[in-house]
Amino acid sequence: MQDQLDHELERIDKLPKLGLLWVEYSAYALGVNIAPRKRSSKYCRLTRILVLIVNLSIIYSLVAFIMENYMISFETYVEAVLLTFQLSVGVVKMFHFQNKVESCSQLVFSTETGEVLKSLGLFQLDLPRKKELLSSVSLILLNNWMIIDRQVMFFFKIVCMPVLYYCVRPYFQYIFDCYIKDKDTCEMTLTYPAIVPYLQLGNYEFPSYVIRFFLLQSGPLWCFFAVFGFNSLFVVFTRYESGLIKVLRFLVQNSTSDILVPKDQRVKYLQCCVRLFARISSHHNQIENLFKYIILVQCSVSSILICMLLYKISTVLEVGWVWMGMIMVYFVTIALEITLYNVSAQKVESQSELLFHDWYNCSWYNESREFKFMIKMMLLFSRRTFVLSVGGFTSLSHKFLVQVFRLSANFFLLLRNMNNK
């Protein structure tokens, strides 16, 4: 009976987790293997070199277009600026997570296998209703994984929209130009505004137009892998942490229950709860160290992108619904990207605040002196809630999310006024 929880965690580990699987594949496509127990890292270094060369080539092409049209108007090259920022952040994320791949893979392993909950010693105690206690803990964990899968796959669908748009736009444009407008001469246009350098050798171009076309076609895919993969990884970690806190809250709430915990076992039971709190705190610190600075980069770039998208929306209001629809999808993707960070972090903070009240609200005043002492210590430690910082300057929360949108709106108004002059 002592390994009941460990066996249940192994069973949960074997269950399919679609959201986490797509996150692992997305990171692997960029050459970052965050799940080494499942797949080999043999070709990851070569993949990273290839991804870096392709991304830098696309960024160079976009910057060349921006410099070529710099003096015309901001509306001309705003789309190129957006894509340049997005690709650049993707490269930064790739290097950041590769630099911390060991801690990242350890967190993935711990999250998937339930390492934090293993060997707690809880089910070694002489508890009358272990099966009921185990089923309740298991239900919390299973429901938490269902929430993770739903959120991650929802974000997956949202991110796919602008990627599909950029991938299929040149083909639909070609069909429209050739078969609907009845042009005498029609040719395949590039996926988005860019100037790809090439050499003219007689009648031949190197690289050829086809190679340049598919080079740019790959750009949205790299954006997808970086945006979906690494942002969703944060969602997986934080949502799992909030689930762990829910488990701890349930255990604390029942620490003085006469039905589940006999009076002579409550001190040992509470010691297991204290042990779980220490492990969750260590798990939280690992997430904080992994994401602290990359979140700062993400929030800064997202503010700029939202500002530019607002400006782009204001300039295409009279162009047509197709352009407006594309920009709105892009806007929703960027807004959801920064929202996921803050909402997920707020969930952890809210659960840790509730945990503080659970420590106090259990019937500790009727218990032994040792039990009371541990409750006092946990009240002291739990006063500091689990927050995730933005580069050490502030913390992710609903309040910070509002500040980001407000800052973007202020930049948008400034940009519009400058352009009008």
pLDDT over 90, % of the chain: 31
* pLDDT given for residue 2 in this prediction: 42
Distance between CA atoms of 362 and 376, rounded to whole angstroms? 12
Distance between CA atoms of 105 and 41, rounded to whole angstroms? 12
CB 329 within 8 A of CB 286: no
β-pair partners for 199: 206
Pairing of strands 394-395, 389-390: antiparallel
CB 256 within 8 A of CB 266: yes
The distance in angstroms from the start CA to the end CA of the chain is: 76
Residue 318 has pLDDT above 60, yes or no: no
Distance between CA atoms of 123 and 136, rounded to whole angstroms? 13
The tally of CA atoms less than 13 A away on the side-chain side of residue 34 is 32
Range of 163's domain? 4-420
The stretch 29-55 carries a mean pLDDT of: 90
Reported as a pLDDT band with limits 50, 70 and 90, residue 391 is confident
CB 219 within 8 A of CB 87: yes
Reported as a pLDDT band with limits 50, 70 and 90, residue 3 is low
- Residue 116: Cβ within 10 Å count: 20
Q: Residue type for 395, please?
A: S
DSSP H or E run through 383: none
Tens of pLDDT, residue by residue over 81-133, are: 888 888 898 899 999 999 999 999 999 999 999 999 988 888 888 888 888 88
Residue (of 328, 327, 232) closest to 21 by Cα position: 232
Domain count, the chain: 1
Residue 76 has pLDDT above 90, yes or no: no
Tens of pLDDT, residue by residue over 172-221, are: 877 877 777 766 667 777 777 788 888 887 778 788 888 888 888 888 88
Distance between CA atoms of 148 and 142, rounded to whole angstroms? 10
Mapped onto helix, strand or coil, the DSSP state of residue 366 is helix
CB 294 within 8 A of CB 388: no
Query: What contacts 241, CB < 8 A, 6 or more positions away?
Result: 280, 283, 284, 287, 348, 386
* pLDDT given for residue 75 in this prediction: 67
The pTM of this model reads 0.89
CB 210 within 8 A of CB 232: no
